């Protein structure tokens, strides 16, 4: 049986991740001048707003901002390098996403925006996902055994159900 308190915490963090994502992408979409540093600034502002509104603690907001930057950087990097579609990055059909999430991703990722963000991303380390972190929608692959975990909405990354390893990467093809 699942611990209802733990489940509520995970749901609350997933909801806070979505809200921060929404705030950052809306700000990015509205901005007249889209620069590589803008998304970072908007994620930081979304983090601060979440804390000010009491949606999450400062510690949780800092973690969620880190996870959000990682996910957005990974998505934009994949799209700019491969020219492929969102469903390829997600690793499943986009019909399974909650309403509005894909639209916000698409608005933030026009080709010019992706090219600008790519400059910033090239300087960053490869994206590694760990058990206990929150991730956005998509498919993570266990680094140890290759097991695929599909996230249809933001959620906490569990240990691998097959081998219990704790390190993942995004689908790359």
Looking at the structure of the chain, the number of domains it has is 1
**Structural tokens at position 11:** 């749901």
Q: Which domain holds residue 86?
A: 4-170
* Residue-averaged pLDDT of the chain: 76
pLDDT digits (tens, 9 = 90+) for 152-169: 889 999 999 999 999 998
pLDDT digits (tens, 9 = 90+) for 99-143: 455 556 555 555 545 555 554 455 344 478 999 999 988 899 999
In angstroms, the CA 81 to CA 86 distance is 13
**Structural tokens at position 22:** 């929404």
Please give the DSSP secondary-structure letter assigned to residue 168.
E
Please give the DSSP secondary-structure letter assigned to residue 45.
H
Q: If pLDDT is split at 50, 70 and 90, which confidence band does 94 have? A: very low
Report phi then psi at 72, rounded to 5: -65, -45
């Amino acid at each position: 049986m699942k611990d209802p308190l733990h489940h509520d915490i995970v749901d609350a963090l997933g909801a806070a991740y979505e809200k921060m994502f929404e705030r950052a992408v809306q700000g990015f979409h509205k901005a007249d001048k889209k620069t590589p540093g803008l998304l970072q600034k908007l994620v930081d502002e979304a983090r601060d707003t979440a804390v000010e509104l009491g949606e999450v603690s400062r510690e949780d907001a800092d973690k969620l901002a880190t996870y959000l930057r990682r996910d957005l950087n990974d998505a934009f990097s994949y799209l700019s390098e491969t020219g492929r579609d969102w469903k390829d990055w997600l690793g499943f059909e986009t019909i399974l996403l909650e309403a509005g999430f894909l639209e916000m991703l698409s608005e933030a990722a026009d080709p010019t925006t992706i090219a600008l963000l790519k400059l910033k991303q090239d300087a960053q380390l490869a994206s590694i996902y760990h058990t206990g972190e929150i991730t956005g929608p998509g498919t993570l692959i266990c680094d140890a055994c290759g097991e695929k975990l599909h996230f249809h909405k933001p959620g906490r990354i569990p240990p691998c159900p097959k081998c219990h390893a704790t390190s993942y990467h995004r689908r790359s093809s």
